[in-house]
Amino acid sequence: MKIGVFDSGLGGLVITKAFIEKLPEYDYFYYGDSIHLPYGEKTSGQILSYSLAAMRYMISQGCKIIIIACNTATSISLRYIQQRFIPQYAPDIKVLGVVIPTVEVSLQNGIKRVGVVATSATVRSHIYRQELEKINPDIDVVEIAAPELVPAIENNKFELAEEFVKEYSRSFKNVDSLILGCTHYPLIKEYFRKYLPGVYIVSQDELMAEKLQDYLQRHPEIESFLGRNGLREFKVSSFNKHSQKVATNLFTDIAITKA
């Protein structure tokens, strides 16, 4: 069976690339629900509905473990999927998110003030604030929604994305660490590092592979079912004219096809 990675678009390919580089022996299935992009501007009900449809599809494609790389879907849908959907629909499947591993890394080295830049829906859920305060009730959290970034990235308009990053960075000058709370944002992490040179930038592509490796080592009942044939299959629910170009920047040898 396969390791599945789900995102609202192409941003999760950054996480997938990190997984493949760290754990190349396994089979991978990627699904980007680009027809409904961007999730961050949808209602919670819509996000849950899209996420459940994606889980059904990915399970039908042979995924044994699914990582919801989309922060918005994680913040809105993960708890329901883990507690209600999976136990009834596919109890032998595991579904994980990206928020808690990210929070753990962001608080290393005694950090006291954390910034979060994310989609509107993720910020509206306050999931990062809640998880940060569970670990450190005295933490100071600055949350900013950046709805323009995902469309700019998906449409390969990186110069425009940099202008937005420059503007948003002004709100994070006084934080110790900044969580890039969307899996599209690793594609522009160097812009944040450029405009926030004294801030520890927490980018999920740099931490999730190690977290997945640790999880598989601790759960042989999942790991033992995973195929080791080097299979890679990437699907999206719809194409725009820039989809393959953005993807090719990450994977030169793997085509993305329509689900």
Residues annotated as part of the active site: 70, 182
Q: Which amino acid is at 21?
A: E
What tokens does 22 get? 């760290």
Residue with tokens 């953005």: 246
Q: Shortest CA distance to 188 belongs to which of 14, 3, 61, 2?
A: 14
Q: Which amino acid is at 184?
A: H
**Neighbouring-strand partners of residue 200:** 177
Q: Shortest CA distance to 246 belongs to which of 42, 3, 7?
A: 7
Compute the distance between CA of residue 57 and CA of residue 73 in angstroms, rounded to an integer: 15
